């Protein structure tokens, strides 16, 4: 919908008189909606979008152009794009009937040209994007991207946006190391478990984090520490000195959320995982 106003002038005998100002609105019979196919995103995810154009008028719109800014935002002196178009993913329908793929420029921004919407009908575009390294990962973040349709017959471009929130979750991994790698009989060795969290939520007591291992050879007289602090048998861990089965008590270990920093030059987000270190030392 576009507003307009204008005013007339009357000139006579060298004088000029202005009329009243009249205002009006131009209402487009063409409407645009954009819908995201997913509720949340994580690094590397594929996200789908549906563009719907409905023409309630009696004239066909032809030669329309769609642009999608792929969520671009300013970083430093440039623009970071949290989404990238997935090549050859666009599908085009008119009144529900599949059409040949339109011309696509991946961008960013994404541009699709040569679209038509019949009188009293509709057109639909479906396409996919990939989450890039420029997508924010902190809890509460979201990707918001805007689609615009322009072309002949439209006084102003139509715009619609869709937002997808980042997934809020812990993402844990575990790395086990041994020191020394060569140990004599009745010698002492240490197993170190590095737990890392690349997610934006800590894995706390409610997550019930547990490290389990079956030591072979069986360790005797073990001592256990978490982040350098001793853990006590029963309250911190359980251990069967006959079988070598070790289990930390669920919820004793907390792995903090990751920290994120953005490169001012590339716009990419750099992940510093949250960490917890569990060590078990014993005699073989």
Looking at residue 5, its pLDDT comes to 86
Three-state SS string across 250-269, please?
A: CCCCCECCCEEEECCCCCCE
Listed in order, the ranges of the chain carrying CATH 2.60.40.740 are: 29-166
* Nearest residue to 192 via CA among 177, 182, 180: 177
In angstroms, the Cα distances linking 19 to 8, 10, 14, 25, 225 are 5, 8, 16, 19, 87
Both tokens of 107, joined, read: 């961008």
Tell me, rounded to whole angstroms, the distance of Cα 275 from its chain centroid.
Answer: 23
Looking at residue 54, its pLDDT comes to 97
Burial of 41 (0-12, 13-18, 19+ CB in 10 A): buried
What are the two backbone dihedrals, phi and then psi, of residue 8, each rounded to the nearest 5 degrees? -100, 160
Question: In the CATH scheme, what is the code of domain 29-166?
Answer: 2.60.40.740
Q: Which residues of the chain have pLDDT under 70?
A: 1-2, 25-27
- Distant-in-sequence, close-in-space partners of 37: CB < 8 Å, separation ≥ 6: 47, 48, 49, 50
pTM, to two decimals: 0.82
Which single residue is written with the structure tokens 């017959």? 153
- 172-283 is classed in which CATH architecture? Sandwich (2.60)
Looking at residue 20, its pLDDT comes to 87
Both tokens of 274, joined, read: 């949250």
CA distance 117 to 104: 17
- 53 torsion bin: left (phi>0), alpha (psi -120 to 50), beta (else): beta
To the nearest 10°, report the CA torsion of 135, 137, 140, 145: 10
Strand-pairing partners, residue 272, are: 259
- Distant-in-sequence, close-in-space partners of 172: CB < 8 Å, separation ≥ 6: 195, 196, 197, 199, 203, 209, 255
Looking at residue 218, its pLDDT comes to 95
- Distant-in-sequence, close-in-space partners of 183: CB < 8 Å, separation ≥ 6: 189, 284
CA distance 167 to 40: 5
Which single residue is written with the structure tokens 């072309």? 151
């Amino acid at each position: 919908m576009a507003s307009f106003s204008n005013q007339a002038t009357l000139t006579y005998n060298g004088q000029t008189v202005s009329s009243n100002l009249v205002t009006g609105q131009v209402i487009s019979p063409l409407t645009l909606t954009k819908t995201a196919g997913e509720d949340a995103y994580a690094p590397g995810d594929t996200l789908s979008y549906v563009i719907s154009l409905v023409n309630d008028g009696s004239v066909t719109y032809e030669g329309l152009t769609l642009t999608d800014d792929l969520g671009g935002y300013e970083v430093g002196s440039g623009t970071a794009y949290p989404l990238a178009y997935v090549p050859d993913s666009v599908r085009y329908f008119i009144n529900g009937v599949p059409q040949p793929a339109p011309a696509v420029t991946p961008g960013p921004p994404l541009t699709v040209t040569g679209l038509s919407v019949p009188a009293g009908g509709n057109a639909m575009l479906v396409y996919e994007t990939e989450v890039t390294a420029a997508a924010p990962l902190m809890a509460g973040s979201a990707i918001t991207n805007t689609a615009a349709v322009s072309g002949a017959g439209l006084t102003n471009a139509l715009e619609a946006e869709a937002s997808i929130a980042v997934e809020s979750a812990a993402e844990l991994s575990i790395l086990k190391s041994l020191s020394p790698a060569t140990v004599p009989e009745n010698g002492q060795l240490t197993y170190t478990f590095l737990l890392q969290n690349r997610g934006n939520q800590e894995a706390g007591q409610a997550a019930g984090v547990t490290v389990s291992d079956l030591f072979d050879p069986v360790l005797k007289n073990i001592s256990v520490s978490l982040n350098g602090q001793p853990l006590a048998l029963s309250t911190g861990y359980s251990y069967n000195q006959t079988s070598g089965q070790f289990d930390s008590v669920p919820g004793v270990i907390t792995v903090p959320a990751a920290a994120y920093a953005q490169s001012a030059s590339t716009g990419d987000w750099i992940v510093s995982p949250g960490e917890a270190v569990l060590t078990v030392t014993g005699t073989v």
